[in-house]
């Protein structure tokens, strides 16, 4: 398969994942969000209320469309990374297992790591300043974790033939855990005081269901995208995926 063929299959997987995640959040996430908004409305106002530009129904529809769009972008980036790493780090596995393994790592780095360091907050918690600060550090943590993980895996791959495969596997698993754990420790904390009286169940329901949406997305992209790639590879086994190369420079 060509690079474009791989990307098309992962875009299809991303579209499917985006639609299912949007439905998941509409059915399971919206009740928790509404409960958070109702709790926020029950608090004494701190000042004049801002006019509502969009109704809640319009916000829900816009959010579902945004989820599908973001899913397409993430699946494109994932497909590109998969093509790059397929024969460098995760070679020797079938397309389904390799894609699922990489998607599992993506879930850990883009969802679990920030979920631990900067837990998700339901509506009604946090102010504008902390929301932007939290978002900035969360995105920076995700980017730093991904760069650290890929760099470690490439370094470990270079040790092939110099140390045993068992030691390489241990290094490939333990080293990222230690390094990313240190990165999480170095990053600053962004704390928001919990509003008095907010139910703990509401907070944890929002966090767990939000994490579940990430798990659903990466599971679909990893498994379904790998399955599509394996079926295509079966029809053209001698044409592995490749990133487009630049035309060679003519020697004079």
For residue range 31-51, list pLDDT tens digits in order: 888 887 777 766 666 555 556
* Assigned token pair, 76: 């494109």
**Cβ contact 213:58 at 8 Å:** no
> What pLDDT is recorded for position 142?
94
> What pLDDT is recorded for position 89?
60
> What pLDDT is recorded for position 178?
94
> What pLDDT is recorded for position 157?
81
Extract the residue ranges of the chain whose pLDDT is less than 70.
1, 41-54, 88-92, 123-129, 193-195, 232-252
pTM given for the model:
0.81
Which residue blocks in 86-199 are alpha helix, DSSP H? 95-107, 113-117, 128-158, 165-186
> What pLDDT is recorded for position 244?
47
Distance CA 214, CA 174 (A): 24
* Assigned token pair, 151: 């760099």
> What pLDDT is recorded for position 51?
61
Sign of CA dihedral 78, 82, 84, 88: positive
> What pLDDT is recorded for position 250?
45
Distance CA 115, CA 128 (A): 20
> What pLDDT is recorded for position 245?
47
What is the CA angle 145-150-156, rounded to 5?
125
> What pLDDT is recorded for position 236?
56
* Assigned token pair, 82: 């998969």
160, β-bridge pairs: 163
């Amino acid at each position: 398969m060509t690079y474009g063929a791989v990307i098309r299959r992962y875009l299809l997987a991303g579209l499917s994942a985006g639609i299912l995640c949007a439905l998941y959040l509409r059915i399971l996430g919206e009740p928790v969000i509404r409960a958070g908004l109702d709790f926020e409305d029950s608090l004494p106002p701190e000042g004049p209320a801002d006019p509502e530009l969009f109704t809640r129904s319009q916000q829900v529809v816009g959010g579902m469309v945004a989820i599908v769009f973001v899913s397409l972008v993430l699946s494109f980036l994932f497909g590109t990374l998969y093509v790059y790493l397929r024969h460098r780090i995760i070679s020797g596995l079938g397309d389904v297992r390799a894609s699922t393994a990489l998607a599992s790592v993506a879930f850990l780095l883009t969802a679990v790591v920030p979920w631990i360091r900067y837990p998700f907050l339901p509506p009604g918690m946090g102010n504008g300043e902390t929301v932007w600060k939290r978002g900035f550090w969360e995105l920076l943590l995700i980017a730093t974790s991904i760069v650290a993980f890929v760099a470690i895996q490439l370094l470990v791959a270079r040790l092939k033939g110099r140390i045993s495969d068992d030691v390489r596997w241990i290094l490939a698993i333990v080293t990222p855990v230690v390094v990313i754990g240190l990165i999480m420790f170095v990053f600053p904390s962004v704390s928001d005081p919990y509003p008095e009286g907010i139910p703990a169940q509401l907070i944890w329901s929002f966090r767990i269901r939000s994490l579940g949406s990430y798990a659903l997305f990466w599971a679909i992209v990893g498994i379904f995208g790998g399955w599509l790639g394996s079926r295509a590879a079966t029809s053209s086994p001698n044409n592995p995926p490749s990133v487009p190369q630049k035309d060679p420079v003519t020697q004079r």
